[in-house]
C-alpha cells in the first residue's frame, strides 16, 4: 500500500537530485530511502529510478509521479492544517520532540521505551542516524535529542548535556577453538595472523576498531566486512575468523564463543549516551525521556560479558 511518507521521499529525491542528498535532508539512511522508492515503484508497476553513472536518477515516469506526489503531500498538509484551524480537531497540541538514534539503539532501547513504558506526555518524531552522528545533529539544532555513541572515557568537547545510558564494550567473538587460542597468555601477536570480520571500511565502528588495533600494534587481515552485527557473527563462524561485536548485539550459540580480552589486549569499549542541548536538562520532556530510555536498556540488557 502506498504511503504519504513514500510520496514525500520520492519528492525529496527529485528536489535534492539523488538518494544520498534526499537521505540527508530527511535524516534517514540512503538504504531506507532506496527501500521506500523501491516499494513505491512496486505499487506503481514500473521503475521510478534508473542508474546514472555511479548514482541514480528519476525515470520519466518517476519524475511525473514525483510531481503528483508533491501535490498530494501539499493537499494533505493544507487539508489537515485547515481542519485544525477551523476548530474541528479538538486534540490539544503537545510538545513534539525530534529524537535521533543509531539502528541498534532504535531496536534495543528507543522502541522498547515507547512500546513498553506507557504513553509519553509528549509527541516524538524518530530519525535514524549514524552511530556517532547524533551529537553533531543536536549541536546543529536539527534534532532536540539523540541516542549516540562515544568512546569510553572520551571527554565532551561541547556544551551539550550528555547522559550515559549504557556501557557497551566490544567482545572478541569467533569459533570456540579460535577464542581459546587468543585467550592464552601472550596471544597478542598471533592476532595479526588471524582472519577477521570487520565493519564496513570507513564506517564509525571500523575507525574505532582500527584505532584500537593500531594502538596495540595489531594488523587485522579482513576476510569479510559487514555493518550487521548478527551477520558478522555468522560470517565469523563460516569463515573461521575473529570479529569484534558489541556486547548488546551478541548471539547465543553453541558454536560461537566470546571473551573480553585476548592475552593482555582488551577489546575496545564504547558508551551509549543521550545527548541534548544543555537547556533541555531543566525540561520535563528530557527527564521523562531519560528515565524511559534507561529503563528500556535495563530491561534489554541481560547479556553476560564473559565466555
Task: Say how far apart CA 131 and CA 170 lie, in whole Å.
Answer: 14
Q: 4-82 is classed in which CATH architecture? A: Orthogonal Bundle (1.10)
Using alpha carbons, select from 149, 153, 37, 45 the residue that is nearest to residue 104: 149
At 299, the pLDDT band (50, 70, 90 cuts) reads low
pLDDT of residue 142: 92
Asked if 285 and 94 touch (Cβ cutoff 8 Å), the reply is no
User: What pLDDT is attached to residue 85?
Assistant: 54
> Residues of CATH 3.40.190.290 domain(s) within the chain?
95-306
Confirm if 198 and 225 have CB atoms less than 8 A apart: yes
Kind and range of the H or E run holding 150: strand 145-151
Cβ proximity of 234 and 157 under 8 Å: no
Helix (H) or strand (E) holding 284: helix 284-300
44-58, pLDDT tens digit by residue?
A: 888 888 887 777 788
Which three three-digit cell numbers place residue 75? 493537499
- Contact (Cβ atoms closer than 8 angstroms) between residue 108 and residue 295: no
Q: 139-194: per-residue pLDDT in tens?
A: 888 999 999 988 765 665 667 889 998 887 889 999 999 988 888 766 555 788 88
The CA angle 270-128-148, to the nearest 5 degrees, is 25
* Residue 271 predicted with pLDDT over 80: yes
Cα distances from 125 to residues 79, 95, 110, 307, in angstroms, run: 21, 11, 11, 39
What does residue 253 show for φ and ψ, rounded to 5 degrees? -140, 145
| pLDDT digits 0-9 by tens, 190-205 | 788 889 999 999 887 8
| Stated pTM of the model | 0.55
- Where do the CATH 1.10.10.10 domains begin and end in the chain? 4-82
Q: What is the pLDDT of residue 147?
A: 93
State CA 159 to chain mean position distance: 23
CATH architecture of the domain covering 95-306: 3-Layer(aba) Sandwich (3.40)
> Cα–Cα distance between 153 and 266 in angstroms, integer?
15
Give the Å distances, CA to CA, from 37 to 53, 193, 265: 19, 43, 45
242-246 and 195-198 strand pairing: parallel
How many CB atoms sit inside 10 A of residue 1's CB?
Answer: 5
* Predicted confidence (pLDDT) per residue in 224-248, tens digit: 999 899 999 999 999 999 999 988 7
Answer for the pair 144, 251: CB distance below 8 angstroms, yes or no: no
Residue 305 vs residue 37, higher pLDDT: 37
| Three-state SS at 3 | coil
Are 275 and 145 a contacting pair, CB within 8 Å?
Answer: yes
Amino acid at each position: 500500500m502506498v504511503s504519504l511518507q513514500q510520496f514525500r521521499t520520492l519528492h525529496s529525491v527529485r528536489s535534492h537530485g539523488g538518494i544520498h542528498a534526499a537521505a540527508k535532508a530527511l535524516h534517514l539512511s540512503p538504504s531506507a530511502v532506496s527501500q521506500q522508492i523501491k516499494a513505491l515503484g512496486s505499487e506503481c508497476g514500473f521503475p521510478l529510478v534508473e542508474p546514472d553513472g555511479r548514482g541514480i536518477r528519476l525515470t520519466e515516469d518517476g519524475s511525473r509521479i514525483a510531481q503528483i506526489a508533491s501535490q498530494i503531500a501539499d493537499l494533505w498538509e493544507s487539508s489537515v492544517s485547515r481542519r485544525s484551524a477551523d476548530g474541528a480537531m479538538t486534540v490539544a497540541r503537545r510538545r513534539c520532540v525530534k529524537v535521533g538514534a543509531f539502528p541498534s539503539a532504535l531496536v534495543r532501547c528507543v522502541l522498547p521505551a515507547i512500546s513498553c513504558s506507557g504513553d509519553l506526555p509528549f509527541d516524538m518524531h524518530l530519525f535514524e542516524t549514524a552511530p556517532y552522528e547524533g551529537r553533531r545533529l543536536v549541536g546543529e539544532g536539527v534534532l532536540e535529542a539523540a541516542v549516540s555513541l562515544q568512546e569510553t572515557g572520551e571527554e565532551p568537547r561541547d556544551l551539550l548535556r550528555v547522559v550515559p545510558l549504557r556501557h557497551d564494550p566490544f567482545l572478541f567473538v569467533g569459533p570456540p577453538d579460535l577464542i581459546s587460542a587468543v585467550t592464552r597468555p601472550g596471544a597478542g601477536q598471533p592476532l595479526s595472523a588471524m582472519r577477521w570480520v570487520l565493519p564496513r571500511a570507513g564506517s564509525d565502528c571500523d575507525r574505532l576498531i582500527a584505532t584500537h588495533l593500531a594502538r596495540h600494534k595489531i594488523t587485522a587481515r579482513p576476510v569479510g566486512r559487514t555493518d550487521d552485527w548478527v551477520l558478522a557473527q555468522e560470517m565469523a563462524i563460516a569463515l573461521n575468523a575473529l570479529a569484534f561485536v558489541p556486547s548488546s548485539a551478541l548471539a547465543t550459540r553453541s558454536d560461537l564463543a566470546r571473551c573480553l580480552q585476548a592475552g593482555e589486549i582488551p577489546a575496545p569499549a564504547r558508551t551509549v549516551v543521550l545527548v541534548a542541548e544543555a537547556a533541555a536538562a531543566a525540561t520535563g520532556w528530557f527527564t521523562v525521556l531519560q528515565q524511559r530510555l534507561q529503563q528500556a536498556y535495563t530491561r534489554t540488557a541481560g547479556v553476560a560479558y564473559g565466555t
